[in-house]
Amino acid sequence: MNILKTRNCAFVLAITAVAALYTVAAWRVEQIRQTPRVVSTCQMEHCVPHTASLNALR
């Protein structure tokens, strides 16, 4: 009985963790989708260069 109880508890915990991760990811995507376009565009003072060399990042 003890092994079945432990296995069932682990199964419920794993399903709960997967559901929580999915919920958090869906919530984050919805938050990103609802941001205004001005916030999501790159302003010159906030841009991260994508083609910079390691020397330029120092």
- Report pLDDT digits (tens) over 20-41: 999 999 999 888 888 776 665 6
Q: Please tell me the predicted confidence (pLDDT) of residue 53.
A: 61
Please tell me the distance from the alpha carbon of residue 18 to that of residue 50, in angstroms, as a whole number: 33
* Whole-number Å distance between alpha carbons of 52 and 23: 36
DSSP 6-50: HHHHHHHHHHHHHHHHHHHHHHHHHHHHTS-HHHHSPPTTT---S
Dihedral over Cα of 25, 28, 32, 34: its sign: positive
Q: Which domain holds residue 26?
A: 2-36
Q: Residue 27: inside a domain, yes or no?
A: yes
Q: What is the pLDDT of residue 20?
A: 97
Residue 11 lies in a domain: yes
CA atoms of 50 and 57, how far apart (whole Å): 11
Note whether residue 55 is domain-resident: no
> What pLDDT sits at residue 33?
83
In a domain, 43, yes or no: no
Count of domains observed in the chain: 1
| Share above pLDDT 70 across residues of the chain, in percent, rounded to a whole number | 60
The pTM assigned to this predicted structure is 0.56
